Amino acid sequence: MAQYKRIFLTGYSYYLTIVTHGRNPILIDNIELLRESFRESKCYFKYSIDAIVVLPDHIHMIITPDVFDEYPRIVKSIKYYFSKHCKLEDEIEQLTSRHRRKYRPIWQKRFYEHTIRDEKDYLRCLEYIRNNPIKHEYVENEKDWKYSSFG
């Protein structure tokens, strides 16, 4: 199996996708906690959120960290705070190995990351984020989705 390598480049932005465990649609119902999780992460890490969209079961965003190799820790911080404070109403099935390690079934273990190479790439990622609520048929116009930086 090939080893996954993240690319860390000074001064670059990163397109990230974070997905809930089993695509559980808990994010919108817990939007204030998610916002608090971002605020908490900003107490420890300096980064800008250039664009973001929150859907019930995943987040897409473009961030620019001040310290280029901190974005995995930024994501970890957001996920940790949210997981620690999120109240799940139902028990969610998960792998025995995750249960043994006392993981709460809130997030997928990994997240998707893409280093944005140039302005064309940036605009492509931005457009994907902007259109995601339309793609998933939540709204017909991106301005109608209030859980994004475009609404």
What's CA 141's distance to the chain center, in Å?
22
- Assess contact for 35 and 29: CB atoms under 8 A: no
Residue 103 appears among annotated catalytic residues: no
- Assess contact for 58 and 136: CB atoms under 8 A: no
**Which amino acid is located at 118 in the chain?**
D
- Distance CA(17)–CA(77), nearest Å, equals 15
Predicted pLDDT at 86: 93
Q: Which two tokens stand for residue 16?
A: 């990230």
pLDDT bucket at 130, cuts 50 / 70 / 90: very high
- Assess contact for 98 and 105: CB atoms under 8 A: yes
Q: pLDDT digits over 44-90, tens only?
A: 999 999 999 999 999 999 999 999 899 999 999 999 999 999 987 65
% pLDDT > 70, the chain: 86
* Domains defined for the chain, CATH in brackets: 14-143 (3.30.70.1290)
pLDDT at 101 over 80: no
Predicted TM-score of the model (pTM): 0.87
Residue among 14, 15, 81, 147 flagged as catalytic:
147
- Assess contact for 12 and 115: CB atoms under 8 A: yes
Helix (H, G, I), strand (E, B) or coil at 32: helix
- Dihedral sign, CA of 99, 104, 108, 114? negative
Q: Where are the alpha helices (DSSP H) in 13-150?
A: 31-41, 71-85, 96-100, 119-135
Helix (H, G, I), strand (E, B) or coil at 103: coil
